[in-house]
Amino acid sequence: MMRGVGPLLAAVTALWAVIALVSQVLAEPPLSPVVTIVAGALLTNVAILGYGSTLRGPRQRRQRPQEPTARRRTRAQPGALPEGLTNEVADQAVALLLPLLGGDAVSITDRERMLAFAGPGDDHHERGSPLYIQTRDEVLLTGRTLTVSGADVIGCPEPGCPLRSAAIAPLRVGQEVIGSVTVYRSSHDPPRGELVEAAAGILSLHLELAELESRERIAVDAELDALRAQINPHFLFNTLNTIANRIRTDPEDARQLLVRLADFFRHALRQRGQFAGFSQEYAFIRTYVTLEQARFGDRLNVEYDIDPAVLGVEIPVLVVQPLVENAIKHGASSNVERTTVRLRARVNPLARTVQVLVRDDGVGMDDDTRAAVLEGRSRLDASGTGLSNIRARLHLLFGDRHTFDVRSALGEGTTIHLELPLR
């Protein structure tokens, strides 16, 4: 009954952490507590009202008598935004993004009109106004982030408009581009596109949660595994703390970490199906490790030994990353000394298998704890999916044609060996 709650709780926790970071740490001066609380409450409603979780049960289909046609919004309408993105929420979102992204103004649009605008020019770039920048059409068509410069390119017909350059990033729900986030400057030097793209990616995450319909999912569903494993409130809290601590000492590094965090979310939510290329999963692992190394610094060393032949092999999604996460937690998190985590991957062409080894030199486990972890009875299981769920998922996918072996000893670390048949 509670399988749908985990992603929602994780997303709400992450949402409040991001709001606190942006409004109280990055904003100069910090936003008032009233604005912060109102924004948090509204965005929380976006996640809760839009997500068909077991907290409120499945949605009931019912007729709405005499409902005006103009208010009947369905996903059949091209580019329709989720119902949870109200005018108030859009206004609060641009107010929170403005101090973070290094621009003079920020807007959120759908595919046809302005939804919210903050900054110079808000007297004529108002809700419902047309989208003047022709480059935005290319962003909506291709899904690529673009920058533009020049009043003629901005295209605003208002003679006194102060906007001279912009960076435009797409908003997505699944594979569909449903709108854009635009950051403007009054100078001809456009904002950094990757920062705008990172912010749009995080906002897209919440739009996707608002679009998820209430339905039953089994524990091995890849999309639910992605949300449970990657939107981990403890991981998010620690990473956002790291970003907040660095924003004053090294703002550029803090912004790069924010971009990495957005990449991390994007991968987790774009997964479709049970399998992905090892190269894609490997890039995802490297992003995750970068975020963790920013947190642990010199205490965490990660070594990679990857056979190039493995990169083209397909493996189950989000299996190897939780193993690396588990090694880091029981290594760097529990060890005051420098910890080394090793990831090794090989292809055995004769046996037609792919072999993955994840090893740490952390605190290790005794036999009873190891058995409890594998059976899902221990809080020592670090990853969102859990080692027991990974084993169950691999059994459903491969039956007896795979190996999942965990060896550990107290004070000597843990080694996980995974061997899967080639597809």
**pLDDT, tens digit, for every residue of 96-135?**
888 878 899 999 998 889 999 999 999 999 999 988 888 8
Are the beta carbons of 314 and 278 closer than 8 angstroms? yes
**Type of residue found at 269:** L
Closest listed residue to residue 147, CA positions, set 196, 100, 108: 196
Domain residue spans in the chain? 5-55+77-214, 225-421
**Type of residue found at 390:** I
Q: What is the CATH number of domain 5-55+77-214?
A: 3.30.450.40
Domain 225-421: what homologous superfamily? Answer: Histidine kinase-like ATPase, C-terminal domain (3.30.565.10)
User: Any idea what DSSP says for residue 160?
Assistant: T
H-helix or E-strand spanning residue 276: strand 275-277
Q: Rounded mean pLDDT of 72-81?
A: 39
Task: Give the integer Cα–Cα distance in Å for 192 and 252.
Answer: 12
pLDDT grade, residue 190 (50/70/90)?
Answer: very high
Are the beta carbons of 183 and 101 closer than 8 angstroms? yes
State the residue for tokens 């994007």.
266
Query: Residue 28: which residues within 8 A CB-CB, separation 6 or more?
Result: 99
Q: Name which of 65-74, 182-191, 256-265, 273-282 the model is least confident about.
A: 65-74
| pLDDT winner (highest mean) among 266-270, 375-379, 410-414 | 410-414
Query: How many residues does the structure list for the chain?
Result: 423
Dihedral sign for Cα 148, 151, 154, 155, please. Answer: negative
Residue 220 scores a pLDDT above 60: no
Are the beta carbons of 129 and 138 closer than 8 angstroms? no
5-55+77-214 and 225-421 have identical folds: no
pLDDT grade, residue 41 (50/70/90)?
Answer: low
pLDDT at 319: 87
Q: Name which of 80-89, 101-110, 338-347 the model is least confident about.
A: 80-89
Q: Over the stretch 154-172, which tens digit does the pLDDT of each residue have?
A: 889 898 899 999 999 999 8
pLDDT grade, residue 38 (50/70/90)?
Answer: low
Alpha-helix residue ranges (DSSP H) falling in 188-277? 193-211, 222-230, 233-249, 251-270
Residue 256 scores a pLDDT above 70: yes
Burial letters 300-311, b for 16+ CB under 10 A, else e: bebeeebeeebb
State the residue for tokens 């019912």.
62
Task: Give the integer Cα–Cα distance in Å for 345 and 358.
Answer: 9
pLDDT grade, residue 181 (50/70/90)?
Answer: very high
